[in-house]
Amino acid sequence: MNSISFPIKTERLSITKFDESMVDSFQANSMDDDIRRFVPDEVFETLDEARATLAKLISYYNQDNAPLVYPILLHDGQNIGYVQAVPYYDEWEIGYHVAKAHTGKRYASEALRAFLPFIIRQLGIGHIIGISHIDNIASRRVMEKSGFDLEYDGPGPYQGEELHIRRYVYHRVE
């Protein structure tokens, strides 16, 4: 696996690696209603739970075929969410979240457009998928604005259930 050069900078954001000092914002960002609804396994009710998960995520930076999760920071250092690439069967799936206080400002699209070329190159893959619950309109819009193509619309596995999903694919751009 190649190494991503951090931080990845955009006009308004930086994407870098998590460190232990980010546990408070990591836990606070996980408490959003949208996280509870669409990815409840990423809600951390206590700081201890968040601290243990963050330590595990940090340890994955040096492993192959492990979830790769990176914080999205404003240029003042405020942690407003994350972008991630997660193994999904024999593919990789993108994920992202921007805390509710910062939604509607196009931060997720900006972060995703910057992150995609780096993570695809690091992983040595030709494409990455994105899966969204049909009701998660904001997530679907972010993928569409970020260059993903709709590949499937219908029933599929989502958070351990068979639900109506949309599956998107982003192809490596040379």
Q: Which pLDDT does position 41 carry in this prediction?
A: 86
pLDDT tens, position by position, 61-120: 988 889 999 999 999 999 999 999 999 999 999 999 999 999 999 999 999 999 999 999
The pLDDT tens digits of the residues spanning 33-45 come to 888 888 888 889 9
Residue 4: per-residue pLDDT: 66
Residues 6+ apart with CB under 8 A from 28: 99
Q: Is the dihedral of CA 15, 108, 60, 92 positive or negative?
A: negative
Cβ within 8 Å of residue 145, ≥6 positions away: 106, 109
Domains along the sequence of the chain with CATH: 8-171 (3.40.630.30)
Give residue 142's pLDDT band: very low, low, confident or very high (50, 70, 90): very high
pLDDT of residue 5: 73
Q: Kindly report the pTM of this predicted structure.
A: 0.92
* φ, ψ dihedrals at 119, nearest 5°: -70, -35
Token pair in block for residue 41: 């396994």
Asked whether residue 15 carries a pLDDT value surpassing 60, the answer given is yes
